[in-house]
């Protein structure tokens, strides 16, 4: 089981050639097993990036997200109380970006690896990362 970081999800859908070979291989394997997780906070992040003009999609953001929601091998993980609390009590040192903390807490709660190119996340030793 894997959790896609927000940028990984965007690249997987829009520019898969940007993914590392290992990331692409793990995503392909997770697709076969129907074990791709995406935190709902990533939907918020994408909508925010679009609103601020930092990301341009080929369709309205709600339709873009709906296309991923329709994929049978993708599950969206809502931000529940357990994940919210865990994001505030992560072991060790990690930066304060709330979305990253929630995505990390989602992966830890699900017992999943996190697919991310973000070096701040990859350097955090308490979550297994793939890139």
- Domains, the chain: 2-130 (3.40.50.1010)
How many C-beta atoms lie closer than 10 Å to residue 14's C-beta?
A: 13
pTM above 0.75, yes or no: yes
Structure token digits, residue 99: 């979305």
Which pLDDT belongs to residue 106? 98
Which pLDDT belongs to residue 28? 98
How many C-beta atoms lie closer than 10 Å to residue 87's C-beta?
A: 22
Q: Which residues contact 128 (CB under 8 A, 6 or more apart)?
A: 107, 113, 114
**pLDDT, one tens digit for every residue, the chain (131 residues):** 999 999 999 999 999 999 999 999 999 999 999 999 999 999 999 999 999 999 999 999 999 999 999 999 999 999 999 999 999 999 999 999 999 999 999 999 999 999 999 999 999 999 999 99
How would you list the strands of the sheet with 129-130, edge to edge? Answer: 74-77, 36-39, 2-4, 113-115, 129-130
């Amino acid at each position: 089981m894997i959790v896609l970081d927000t940028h990984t999800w965007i690249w997987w859908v829009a520019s898969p050639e940007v993914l590392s070979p290992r990331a692409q291989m793990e995503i392909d394997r997770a697709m076969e097993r129907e074990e791709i997780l995406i935190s709902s906070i990533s939907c918020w992040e994408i909508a925010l990036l679009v609103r601020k003009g930092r990301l341009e999609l080929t369709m309205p953001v709600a339709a873009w997200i709906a296309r991923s929601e329709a994929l049978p091998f993708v599950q969206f993980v809502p931000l529940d109380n357990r994940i919210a609390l865990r994001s505030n009590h992560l072991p060790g040192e990690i930066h304060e970006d709330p979305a990253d903390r929630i995505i990390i807490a989602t992966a830890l709660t699900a017992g999943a690896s996190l697919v991310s190119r973000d070096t701040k996340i990859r350097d955090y030793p308490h979550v297994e990362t793939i890139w």
